[in-house]
Amino acid sequence: MKDFINTLYRNHSLGYKFLLFISTTFLIVYLFPKSGKFKYNFEKGKPWQSENLYAPFNFAIKKTDAEIATEKQEIKDAVPLYFNLDSAVPNTVTNNFNREFKSIFPDSIQVYKRNVLKQAGTTIIDKLYHFGVLNDDYNYPDAKKVIILEGRVEKEQTQFGNLVEESQLTEIIVKVLEDNDLQSYKNEFTSLFFDLVEPNLEYNKEFSSRVLQEELDKVSFTRGSVERETLIISKGEVVEGIKFQILKSLESEYESQVWNKSNYLWIVFAYTLLVALALLMLLLFLRKYRMSVFENNVKVTFIFFNVAFMVLITTLVVNYNSQYIYVVPICILPLVLKAFFDARLGLFTHVLTVLLLGLVVPNSYEYMFLQIIAGIVTILTVSELYKRANLFISVGQITLIYIVAYFAFFVIHEGSVETLHWETFGMFVLCGLATLFVQPLIYAYEKLFGLVSDVSLLELSDTNTKLLKELSNKAPGTFHHSLNVANLAEAAANEIGANAMLVRVGALYHDIGKMKNPTYFTENQSTGINPHDELSPAESAHIIINHVIDGIEIARKNNLPDRVIDFIRTHHGTSVVYYFYMKEKEVNELIEIEDFMYPGPKPFSKETAILMMCDSVEAASKSLKEPTSTKIDDFVETILNKQMNDDQFLNANITFKEIQSIKKILKQKLTNIYHLRIEYPE
């Protein structure tokens, strides 16, 4: 049991990765739809590439959404509106008119004229209440069919235009008066009827809605059916018209049918296999080509989290409305991974993620093509993410690639541009704008996962930071040395394609440990007094070696990232403090060389190896007397060859060719520093 626990403890890192792999796989599978997927790919207007297809079972031919929408609209136009009639209102209005007529039109008017006026009022009432007066203004077409109910019984059918709205009252009064040559009485009749007229028709919304819904429920979503073993389409036949609709119906039947428990489990198992294979490829890639990332569980968790996060967002959008699928900024994934790791890892992860998403999105081939091309453009165009202009330019290029690729696919599918969906271009623009969110997202990831991006490195490279100011005050010589090393290292990194920003920051901070005992280092000795004269060689070596340990402590107190601390830890590797070792050896032949050796570790990346070279060359160059080009060449060769012979670069992924390039840069830079010129004759 004890051995088993010890084995688990020794392999806890692999165990964590296994749990992470399993949990991410099940999370992604949980997000995926649990239905069958049509095994054939087909596109409208293109030939059928597979073998002759026969109906595997009986199924109905589904109508298109446009056809169903048209049928429903026709029903909505045809179904009548129902209004409740209050039959007592006309009699009430007539009685009130007869009573008010006497007060409005006095007896002094001739009897004949009074009769004509009264007859005109009666005519107005008849016109108003022939079908009825509405209690509100309703916005319906005049030709809309209307059924008038009296006590829930149909009394009359007419058109909505025949019903009277209160706003039409003046118009009816004027028309009747004109027909009877009574225009001079317009004001009297208008004021009279505006007080008398009451609505007698009220819209029965509940009954109208129920009748409409009953008719809509009768709409058939299918038209005809296909019997089992019926030939649906032959190989090479163009997919169009009814053939296309039958194929879409068959695909829909596959994806929407109710699965029994056995089928459901098989589908989940199949999805699990596919997702597990994709994530396994990612782990194998990390193990083979990015071992430093693979061994860091935080970084592996970060990569898996981003993959699952993109799958989550995409599936949510697909479930809500798949037409918004291109609003999801998938290109954030390679941007983020390139910011924290490198372009190759970012592109590899992006491609695997897009392959996974191809299982859930519609038009999967088109989607995957667009996203992979956009991912490649992202990797190729985005450089130096900390420069804001670069990000805006790259996002513009990505958006343009989306638009061009989508346009090409649309023309291939439809054969014309007349029905081009311009709103999709707007979605690509929104996607580009959403991609700009990568900057705050990178900042959030830095805080959550403790990672370092080039943006943070740019902030750390500012010589006005608190720590570098303290270094310049306490150890001005060391600060000047660090600036020189930073310039040399940056030039060397650019020459071989390493991370120039990272190596520059590492160079600026690599000697901060000298702040603890600045006068024990020659570059800070301005008085001519050397404190080492009062110490034994072993004590002096101990102080010199300890500047690495002191530097790590200071860096941790000031919350410097681990990527920067690595430069402090490795910039001397396991080299020997040779001067004090030889001095001690003069008096004690039995000393151990390990006592005068830096604790290491040796540089384990191109960047840390570059810093070791530049630090040694810059420090030793101060001892050059009357430097010439030949002396500088020999000097650089000697120092770097000794480091190579001591196997200081054994753990760094740097090649002999790259070391030769670094030698060339160092020789050029030192020549420029010492202003060597051709000696002209007297």
Cα dihedral: 369, 370, 375, 380 (round 10): 100
Please report the pLDDT score of residue 258 as a whole number: 44
Q: Which amino acid belongs to residue 331?
A: C
Contact predicate 572/549, CB 8 Å: no
Asked whether the beta carbons of 341 and 384 are under 8 A apart, the reply is no
Alpha carbons 193 and 197: distance in angstroms, whole number: 6
Q: In this predicted structure, what is the pLDDT of residue 493?
A: 93
Question: Could you tell me what percentage of the chain is helix, strand and coil, using 3-state DSSP and rounding each to the nearest 5?
Answer: 65, 5, 30
Beta-carbon-side half-sphere exposure of residue 153 (alpha carbons within 13 Å)? 4
pLDDT tens digits, one per residue of 423-475: 778 888 888 888 888 888 888 888 888 788 877 888 888 888 899 999 999 99
CB atoms within 10 A of CB 669: 21
pLDDT 10s digits, 205-263? 889 999 999 999 888 888 778 888 888 788 777 777 788 887 777 777 766 654 555 57
The reported pLDDT for the residue numbered 678 is 47
- Rounded Cα gap, residues 638 and 521, in angstroms: 23
Check residue 518 and report its DSSP letter: G
Q: Which of 96-100, 255-259, 299-303, 533-537 has the highest mean pLDDT?
A: 299-303
What's the alpha-carbon Rg for the chain, to the nearest Å?
Answer: 43
* Contact in structure between 180 and 113 (CB atoms under 8 Å): no
Residues 6+ apart with CB under 8 A from 534: none
Quickly state the pLDDT bin for 614 (edges 50, 70, 90): very high
Where do runs of H (alpha helix) occur along 157-259?
A: 169-179, 186-196, 205-217, 241-256
Q: Is the pLDDT of residue 558 over 80?
A: yes
Q: What is the DSSP letter of 511?
A: T
**Per-residue pLDDT at 35:** 58
Residue 594, pLDDT > 60, answer yes
* pLDDT greater than 50 at residue 616: yes
- Residue 339 pLDDT exceeds 80: yes
Is the pLDDT at 9 greater than 60, yes or no?
Answer: no
Alpha-carbon distance of 640 to 643, in angstroms, equals 5
Other Cβ atoms within 10 Å of 12 Cβ, number: 11
Note the pLDDT of residue 548. Answer: 92
| Amino acid, res. 46 | K
List, for residues 97-131, the tens digit of each pLDDT value: 888 887 777 766 777 777 888 888 888 888 888 88
| 88: Cβ contacts below 8 Å, ≥ 6 apart | none
Compute the distance between CA of residue 354 and CA of residue 428 in angstroms, rounded to an integer.
Answer: 17
User: Which residues are paired to 145 by β-bridges?
Assistant: 159
Angle between helices 186-196 and 111-128 (to 10 degrees): 50
Number of alpha carbons in the 13 Å side-chain half-sphere of residue 444: 7
H helices present in 225-260, as ranges: 241-256
Q: Report the pLDDT averaged over residues 128-156.
A: 86
- Which has the closest alpha carbon to 605: 654, 558, 641? 654
Helices (H), 233-296: 241-256, 261-289, 291-294
Cα distance between residue 621 and residue 639, in whole Å:
10
- Please state the pTM of the whole predicted model: 0.62
Q: What pLDDT score does 256 carry?
A: 60
DSSP strand E in 497-641: where?
none
Mean pLDDT throughout 194-200?
Answer: 86
pLDDT for residue 108: 65
Greater pLDDT, 315 or 322: 315
pLDDT of 561 reads: 87
CB of 437 closer than 8 Å to CB of 332: yes
Ranking 403-417, 432-446, 487-501 by mean pLDDT, the lowest is 403-417
- What is the overall mean pLDDT for the chain? 84
Which residues in 233-269 are b (16+ Cβ under 10 Å) and which e?
beeeeebeeebbbbbbbbbebbeeeeeeeeeeeebee
**What are 549's two structure tokens?**
């340990």
Cα dihedral: 105, 110, 114, 120 (round 10): -110
Q: Which of 152-156, 252-256, 274-278, 642-646 has the lowest mean pLDDT?
A: 252-256
pLDDT value of residue 280:
95
Whether the predicted pLDDT of 386 surpasses 70: no
